[in-house]
Structure 1
Amino acid sequence: MNSSTQALGQLESARSLALGDGRYYPTIIPGVLPIIGPNTNAALETRRWGADFLAETFASPTWPSDAKETCSLTVLPTLRAYLEGENDAGVVKSAVQAAATIYPLVYRHIISTPHDTSNWQLMTAIKSNILRRMDTAPPGVRICCVKFVQQVVLVETPGMVADPRRPEQNDISLALVPRDHPLMLHANLEAEASGLLDRLLDIVHGDHSDALLVTAALNSLGMLVQRRPYIANKILSSVLNFNPLKLANSPMTPKNKVMMKSMERTTRALLVNVIKRNPEGPFTGRIQQYLERIHRMRLDVFDESNRKRPAPVEPTDGLDPSKRQRVGASIPSSHPVPPLPPGPVSFRQLFTLDPNGATAQFDVQAFKDPEQLLRILVPVLQSIDEAKLGNAINIVRSRYLDLSKTQARTAAAESASLNDEEEEYEPDFEPEDAEQIVNKLDSAPPDGMLPDRVPSAPLAPYKLPQAPPLTEHEIQKYGDGTVRRVFGMLSSLDETSSRGKTTKGGFNRLAASSYDRDSWVTILSRLATRAAAGLDDPDEHIKSAFSGLRKGNFSLSESIRSALYNYIMYDWKKRIDVAISWLNEEWYNDRLQADIAKMNAKLAMNGNATNSPACKGNYQRCALRLVDGIIAFAEGTDKVLLRFMSEIPELDRDILQRMKKMAEDPERIDLAIMVLQYLYMFRPPAKEICIEVLEDMWHTNDRAKPSAKKLLSRWRPEVLETDMKMESANGALEVKAV
């Protein structure tokens, strides 16, 4: 016993030294292992201390992971012996926690050392022993096993690789394992991780009698959702189907209440943290609905006020007389209170409860000195019985309420009577007597002087006066304002469409089939290209609202084109699809106008129509303007430009020459070469133009020569041969000159 106590004292001294400075861990661990090992017949207290020390050591952040990785290999036999030959729950729990911390270190070591079979077999044996304990071990050990399973799933699923050149600084995951690794097969590791994740989710959806185990499983899922997006959807879908209040169907014992509250709070914290990290995630709406539903269920389960009998309603002016003997309370003596007089009531009448009392005739205005009045009122108020004061206040309150209701009923009756009088009013037409008729006939003119009666005629229809014609300035002002409002609405639709998923109709869509951003962009681009075609050309002789304007003063098409360009360039990376849709409409309209011009030319040759001037297309001009605007802001990593150049309907030399101009910037040479290479491979009509642009870059841009040479050597090697011959000839001439 004394030797065991002395050994524990020495071990504690070593532990305190390592806690003070983490650099001592690599030197302390080899000296401690012979003492705490199970093969040394150490006492139970020593083995418990050793297991706790190993769990604490490898979880400590005070020493680097490289040193931890080296030392972790030396403790694997000790951990295996603890797990296979130990029955003490404390030793097993600490050993499982230490194994959970060591597993990623050994995993990374085996990745870099694929032939270390012995250590990987030790780790595999430890893992198998821990996984067998998950369903049969005591609750404390099972919680530690959940932590170990979390670490296994974390390292055996693919994660994000920040820098492939520095694997030691990346997150330890399946993405670091080579495909040809002899010990770690991708298929086996993925299958094992998927099965262990299902076991964690089964704990959540299984028996809720052990709330600590369910809470531990929920807490372990939070890190998996955060660090492994690969499996986040599966975890969140399972958690959203989890009911933490399932025990409400069983008897509501205090233990069940505590367990349900614990699981509900843990689930809510997990989902709230998910929303905080990714507010725009695809599960945000479902999570909010789930939290609201769980909140209502929690109120229904734990709100005991809904289950209790409502309190009896007592009268406001005192206790019920029938309960006086049972309750034992004294009812204040109440005097009969006279009702209020009919008609208008003053404040004095409202607050006077005893009109015959002496206080009713008391006039406070007789006191000129306020101090004297205070000296009288304060003792009077202190001497008043609290019950009587409350009774008087209730009487005044009831008076006031009755008076308010009476006044409201009176006002409603008066308004109703006025309305009835207005509806029932009819003028009285009494028949005239004989004397009145004779008097009128006497005063009437002779028969020949009677005026002719005008025959009744129908009223003419009323028409509003025609509005004056708009001036040129007003037309331009109102047109620009309409276009600005439409594009302002587009900006608001951008925000709403980014939050929810939208479906697109493809080529068969209608421009106004829905009120989303794509529909409005289609309408605007067609207004700019087709709706106003010919309105700006005075030679077309088309009668319209703009026919009286001078050419170039106002153009509906050009206003929309200018607004479309500004709208795209405001955020061109996110609105590149709008630019592609607009150029497609421009190209299609140019083809239509060209076909119409050809048909008119044929009719003119046959003498059936007049020869009209050829229509100038707008696609080339709009495409060059967009390309110039995008190139001005594009960086070397903006591959959105590659998508734009590959999806616009037509390419020519003028457009591709912009890639040559962009290659003058050394940081964007690779992007320009990438665009030309992609167009050569997937846009066959532009092959020759791409090669010509590459030749120009080869001859004029020295910095782009290495990149252009790689492509020209495959597509047009004769250019390089010609240049080499010219260089050799020039060198020979220089030698002769020397």
Structure 2
Amino acid sequence: MSLYADDDLLPSDNLAQASHPSSSTLAPTDPVSALAAALAQPAESIQQAEALQAAGQRYEEQPEKLPELCGRLLPMVVDGGESLLRSWTLEMVALAVGRSSLQVDVKSAVAQSSLDALNRLLHTGSIATIKAVIPIFSTIHPILFRILATSRPPQPIYDAFMSSKARILSFVLDPNAQPQNRGIKAAAWKFLQKVLLVGTRAPPADPRLQRGGSSSHDISIAMIGRDSPLNIAVLEEEVKLLQTQLVTQMFSSVDPAILHPIFNIIPVLCKARQPLASLLVPSMAHWTPAALEVAQKPAMQIRAVERALRAVLGHLGRTSIMASFHAQLNQAIVQQKQRMDLAFVKEQQERQLRREQRHQQSQTVPIPPAAPLAVKLEPAPHAVTGVKHPLEPESSADGAKRARRERQEADVSRLPLHAVVDAVIAGLGGVSADQLKKIFESAKKALVDQTPDAVPLLAVALGIGADGVKAEEDEVVNPLDMEVDDDDDLLFDEALPEEIEDEEITVTEFHLPTPGPIETGEKEELVTGALERICLSGDELAGLPDVDVKDGVALAVQPKEAWMLLTARLATRGLAGKRKAISEYISADFANRSKFAAVWLNEEWYSDMLNKTTNYPSHLDAVLSTLISSVEAKDRSLSSFLVSLPEIPPSVISTLATLCQEPERGLVGFIALRELIETRPPVRPIALNRLLELCTHPDRKIRYPAIKTVNRWVPESAMASAVIEYALGIMRRLVPASSEAEGADGMAVDGEKADEKPLPTSSFLTEITPDTVQQHVELAFALSRRRQEMLDDIFALYPKLEEPIAEQVESLLTPLVQSLGASPRLLEVLRHFPQGADKLALRVVTILSGEGASSVLVNLVKGLMSERELDPRFIIPIIGELDKAEIEKQIPRIVSLLGTADSRDLVRTAFAAALQKLTPADLLVSLHDEESGRRATVEAIGICFSMTTVFRSDVLATSLSRITDLPTLPIVFLRTTIQAVTTYKSLIPFIANNILPKLITKKVWENPPLWDGFVRLARMIAPASFGSLLQLPKEHLRDLLERQPGMKTGLRSYLEGKGMLKGQVNELFGEE
């Protein structure tokens, strides 16, 4: 990835959806078409959920298409959060490898192809996903075990198999495994059952094998071959450990939700693997709910666990395979029944005791002796038949009857005797004889009929025998004969009384007694239990789709989320002590409870505003610390959560800045900061400042995403000006203090001169060295890609920099220039670059011409060369684009570069480019103009001779011949000729017969430097040069021989061989 590309930090992870959703509610018969129709519906809507359900039915009808679906769709739902599509895809995978009618080899192929994706999903933090994936692994574990036991598949299959097994078993073995969820643990125990089955050898007498006729379907370690990557000894040790953990958890676990799956997996283990039965059956027989009682679990939960155990014991006791254990199982069942009966009686006694204590606390003050009873006798209304609903409001008559029943239980023996007598006499004094007679008859009838109004103490006084009154018996219910719903009936152990018709006595003046107070501990238990039930019910509702609002009104809280609002308001306005419990509940599974966290914290903030408290920041920090410790690298839940908060304290910004500096998870922090800056103006200044500081971090892995984050806001956003100003200010720090003070012009922002503002600071910037230059300029360079006006500031800054810093800036500018290309703005900057920025401009020109200079760039450079005294290096990048005449004109300027450091390679490069338009002979002839100085020309000619593949002997011959035809011979010509002869000996005849005669014709002796070279050349190529030397005038021949006396002997022999007389030779040599 590049800072100068327009990509975002994270690619979009949404599945491509059709542009026009289908309006039909009927799914096509073809599964693929049905799935396409489902994907065309709005994401996460009720319509999509229904369409996916219909598509699932089509795939269930045509299972042969499931393998292709799993292979293509499962990898697409691995990344991202929880969704309807992910849940549906996992259901299809479970269908393919489990319930479908596919062949075993097809299921095996699906299991292998899906293993990697399932393993990755298993390591996510989504509870719903993990709960769906573990049962799939329970299904495919024996399949994969068979593959690994009988063959050697690719190493990734084995690695994923071991990784997934370790991950699932950690939920059983590691109490700190995350996420903490009872449903996940229950599914993990089912997986542990599969591991124990395949890790234990099946006995030969297993009845299942006898029915099947083969042991091929019973997968165990007995199948492991020599080539298998599985180790039998390691697996056996693992099974021993799991057996120990199973028994240990059975006795030590205090969570009924864990004990149920433990008991449920035991029957299959005992029947399929007899060696395990000898361990598990005695363990179950000796199990007692001691741990649950110590943990003070409710009696209802303990009974539920006992029932589960009883069901397992009874099932095993009826199985013929377990005949050897029947006596032990029956004894365990009898002991358990006794234990449950005692527990039930004890519970009933405790309930009765609590009721009596509450009743005593609710007793009213005793009636004063002199107070008359306000009793009026009048016909009573007819009783309502049937039993009234417990929640139906009671009438005054019903309340009076209930009050009388309660008063019957009052202990009047504690009142003074005279007070009781006076009260009775005073009450009877207002009753006539007829009314009193009717009262007695009604009381007798009530005693005979056993109505709720009967008073047993009056039986003897009214002449009713003891046989007429039936003592009320408190029936003890056998807990083993109760149904699941009978627990609720136990809460109401008093039957609703049926009213007696024609009742004549009623109380007309009655006040409802004040309810008795509830103990603090019991009150806490009631509230805690209510909150737990609300939260658990809310978790179950989370899978429902959102309500599709058709009137355009967005719902902040969906109907399925109303429990969140209720619980949050209870905690913030009524149950302040439950805040910690809610915080722990959210932290246990933040990924699926982030919405609840947002609702709760919004209520906390509002409560702080009303009550002038400061609970919100502390609870937010607690939730945030838990979230950040478990957030994954590409999880967007953090940013979504923070955006939903009503206020962002500065501490949150600091926490996010710290998270950004983590190499693995920093991307989550950058996305969260970006969302806050864009959507929350109140925290924008502080958040933007922290993000800009991270743009100067010394670690590029942190600096890069920070720059990519702010880069999106330039040039059009509310943050653009602040980002640009900060980038230019940080870059301006590179200027030494003296240069900054001397500079007359400030750099510009938005076309205006920069004000004298203090330079921005960063905690990551210390001293300025070449190594820290990148931290200062990388942000500005990246922003220049989107706002090219900043290039003016870069060029204006460059002349003020010290040499080492400037060189580093040049090298760092390369990626920016490559990404921009020959843009109009960059060319404009080059056309008017400031004095002193020549090297930077040359670097830009060199980069732009790297793959061929455009005509616009060529004209720009040519114009600059004509307007300014620029370095000849400007010509080199574009020389290949000039015509022949222009190249020949610029050759002397290029040659003038020789003599400086590293100039030789630069000139060689220029010559190679020039040869695209010039012939080698043209270039060599041009070099002999000597406009750049004799020394530079000689060095340039030497460069040509070093290019042996280009300047061959024939090229040199042509060049030398053309040079000799020039009106004026160059001084260096003879040196070039001597170098050519030295390089190519084959040129000697050509030079002796063609070049030397031309030189003699041009009277080479008239130019002393040339004559010296001629003499030296003649000696080098002798005797080939003797024939040409005879063309010299006698005096110049004699001068040559005087300079080179060694040539006389050879020349004399040459002449005598030609038949010249000795006297003629002596005369020619000037000898006597």
> TM-score, normalised on structure 1?
0.40
Work out which of the two has the higher radius of gyration on C-alpha atoms and give 1 or 2: 2
User: Which structure ranks higher in relative contact order (CA pairs < 8 Å, sequence separation ≥ 6)?
Assistant: 2
> TM-score, normalised on structure 2?
0.29
